[in-house]
A and B are shown apart, each in its own frame.
Chain A
Amino acid sequence: QKEVEQNSGPLSVPEGAIASLNCTYSDRGSQSFFWYRQYSGKSPELIMSIYSNGDKEDGRFTAQLNKASQYVSLLIRDSQPSDSATYLCAVKGSGGYNKLIFGAGTRLAVHP
């Protein structure tokens, strides 16, 4: 079982719709969870971080965390063509070393 799993996509949504991206992780002791966006040929950039169960909203983005189900998601409201990118879920594990593991990413395509 991979440590962090994501559906590779592509996820195709029309402009203005809600895009829903999902991620599961295997380390039950994980404490920190992140969503990064990566445009083709560029480095990943942080969109959201979440550390406790529930929802966290920032503009058009909402991150949701459910530690009991080992599940984290990202919702993008009013999707724009500029949101088309690969979205990477990342998890910092338990223990003393703060190992940061990424999923393989979900490619999102927002079409006009």
Chain B
Amino acid sequence: DVKVTQSSRYLVKRTGEKVFLECVQDMDHENMFWYRQDPGLGLRLIYFSYDVKMKEKGDIPEGYSVSREKKERFSLILESASTNQTSMYLCASSPEITEAFFGQGTRLTVV
């Protein structure tokens, strides 16, 4: 079975903190994605990566950066957390053409 693991299920951070969300997949997938999900807005793509050290902006990259130093790991970084970044964050991985598999999600609260 494909496994996508996110480092934390729940996280509470203070405004202005630098926050790291980690995601690891065990299926040697080329593509990895970070989404945030808010009520009524669905899944919005923040960043994705199609290879090691390669990244592309999604629809809402402002306030975020990413890192992919190894194929299995994709990190999302909130440079200076703000309350409007309180959300559910979902990581996913996929091969080139076929479906994506999701991690369990990280519910981040910024206070």
Query: Which of B14-22, B35-43, B73-81 lies at the binding interface?
Result: B35-43
- Is B25 part of the binding interface, using a Cβ–Cβ cutoff of 8 Å? no
Query: Chain A: interface secondary structure?
Result: loop
> Hey, which chain B residues are within 8 Å of A99, CB to CB?
45, 48, 56, 58
> Hey, which chain A residues are within 8 Å of B105, CB to CB?
42-43
- Is A25 part of the binding interface, using a Cβ–Cβ cutoff of 8 Å? no
**Bound CA span A90–B43, Å:** 10
Q: What's the interface size class on A, roughly? A: 20 to 34
**CB closest residue in chain A, given B51:** A97
B48: which of A45, A46, A97, A103 is its contact (CB, 8 Å)?
Answer: A97
- Is A102 part of the binding interface, using a Cβ–Cβ cutoff of 8 Å? yes
A100: which of B42, B45, B103 is its contact (CB, 8 Å)?
Answer: B45
Contact A43 B98, beta carbon cutoff 8 Å: no
> Hey, which chain B residues are within 8 Å of A104, CB to CB?
40-42
> Hey, which chain B residues are within 8 Å of A45, CB to CB?
102
B97: which of A31, A43, A44 is its contact (CB, 8 Å)?
Answer: A31
- Is B96 part of the binding interface, using a Cβ–Cβ cutoff of 8 Å? yes
With A92-B97, A98-B30, A101-B45 given, can you name 4 additional A-B contacts, CB distance below 8 Å?
A32-B99, A43-B105, A44-B43, A98-B94
